[in-house]
Structure 1
Amino acid sequence: MNIRRFREEDWLQVKEIYEQGIATGQATFETAAPSFEKWVSTIAANLCFVAEDEEGIQGWCKISKVSDRCVYQGVGEVSVYVREGSRGKGVGRQLLEVIIKESEEKGFWTLTAGIFPENIPSLRLHQSVGFRVVGIRQRIGKLHGVWRDVVMLERRSQIVGID
């Protein structure tokens, strides 16, 4: 598996993988993928990667800004999505490991993630790379008319922001 930076020509495959995640009802409150322009505008510090093999892109991971306030310049929200047929094969972990390293090189001291409590594989994946549960936002939003909770996780860098 080759992990590399996202390129514009990757968008159709990235969008397809995102739509697969949306279809599960366990990955996001979104009900449709955004336009390329909207999606790419949320990428912080060029921190977006894809996992690619001979069959194409198998997953993607990006960091979005959590705020425009300067005090939060080193805090980002992680999204990671893996193609349906590649889930459970370590693709998500490889992507997260790369984005953690790259984010620290760019000065990020905290990464956050919000995951539905029913999405046990994603919770386990994030915890396996150092994220910890910091709380649960109860009934924070509705998806298809049903109130959903979100487990909030964070990963504090051991090399950035420790002074």
Structure 2
Amino acid sequence: MEIIEILPEHWEEVSRIYQQGMDTGNATFQKTAPKWEEWNASHLEKCRLVGIEEGEVVGWAALSPVSSRCVYAGVTEVSIYIAAEYHGRGFGSQLMKALIQTSETVNIWTLQSGIFPENEGSIHLHLKHGFRKLGIRERVGKMEGRWRDVVLMERRSEVVGVE
């Protein structure tokens, strides 16, 4: 798989994959993928990756800031989505590894994720790449009238922010 920076021309496929994840009901509280402009404004300019296999976008990964306060400049939230038709083929691992490496080149020291407990594949992927479970935020939000928990996960860089 080739991994490159997400560009506006990738948005149609990135958005389709994002919507697939949303449609599972276990990826995010969001219901519909935003327009490019909204997504672009809410994610870091760096650390936006798309995976391409045989000319097809198979998945994407990107980071969002957790706060505008300068002390949190190196703390970000992970988004990673793989097209349903490509699940189980190692593309998520390749994207996560590339995202971690890229994040460290731009001085990110902490990656965090909030994952629905039912999304076992995502939890496994994060654990495989050095994330740890911090705990569970119980009944953090309602989705279609049902309270949902979120597993908090974090990965601290071993090379950035260690001194």
Q: What TM-score range do you get, normalising by the shorter chain?
A: over 0.9
Give the CA deviation at 1:55: 4.4
User: Using the alignment, how far apart are the partners of 1:38 and 1:53 within structure 2?
Assistant: 27
Q: Which residue of 2 aligns with 1:13?
A: 13
Secondary structure of the structure 2 residue equivalent to 1:44: coil
Give the CA deviation at 1:77: 0.3
Q: TM-score, normalised to structure 1's length?
A: 0.98
Q: Which residue of 1 aligns with 2:50?
A: 50
- What pairs up with 1:143-154 in 2 under 5 angstroms? 143-154=143-154
Q: Provide structure 2 residue ranges, at least 5 long, that are not aligned to the other structure.
A: none
Structure 1 vs Structure 2: percent identity of aligned residues? 47
Q: Which residue of 1 aligns with 2:132?
A: 132
Deviation above 3 Å: which 4+ runs of structure 1? none
Give the CA deviation at 1:45: 3.8
User: Using the alignment, how far apart are the partners of 1:18 and 1:144 within structure 2?
Assistant: 19
Contact 1:63 1:77 in 2 (8 A): yes
Q: TM-score, normalised to structure 2's length?
A: 0.98
Contact 1:93 1:125 in 2 (8 A): yes
- What pairs up with 1:1-163 in 2 under 5 angstroms? 1-163=1-163
User: Using the alignment, how far apart are the partners of 1:44 and 1:55 within structure 2?
Assistant: 25
Contact 1:134 1:154 in 2 (8 A): yes
Contact 1:45 1:106 in 2 (8 A): no
The one-letter code matched in structure 2 to 1:14 is V
User: Using the alignment, how far apart are the partners of 1:121 and 1:43 within structure 2?
Assistant: 23
Q: RMSD of the alignment, in Å? A: 0.7
Give the CA deviation at 1:144: 1.1
Secondary structure of the structure 2 residue equivalent to 1:3: strand
User: Using the alignment, how far apart are the partners of 1:42 and 1:96 within structure 2?
Assistant: 19
The one-letter code matched in structure 1 to 2:129 is V
Give the CA deviation at 1:8: 0.6
Contact 1:109 1:161 in 2 (8 A): yes
Secondary structure of the structure 2 residue equivalent to 1:59: strand
User: Using the alignment, how far apart are the partners of 2:42 and 2:98 within structure 1?
Assistant: 19
Contact 1:115 1:152 in 2 (8 A): yes
The superposition leaves residues 138-162 of structure 1 with CA deviations (integer Å, 9 ceiling, x where unpaired) of 0000111110000000000000111
User: Using the alignment, how far apart are the partners of 1:45 and 1:65 within structure 2?
Assistant: 10
Give the CA deviation at 1:9: 0.1
Secondary structure of the structure 2 residue equivalent to 1:18: helix
The one-letter code matched in structure 1 to 2:27 is A
Number of residue pairs the alignment of both structures matches: 163
The superposition leaves residues 87-110 of structure 1 with CA deviations (integer Å, 9 ceiling, x where unpaired) of 111111111100100101110000
Contact 1:66 1:72 in 2 (8 A): yes
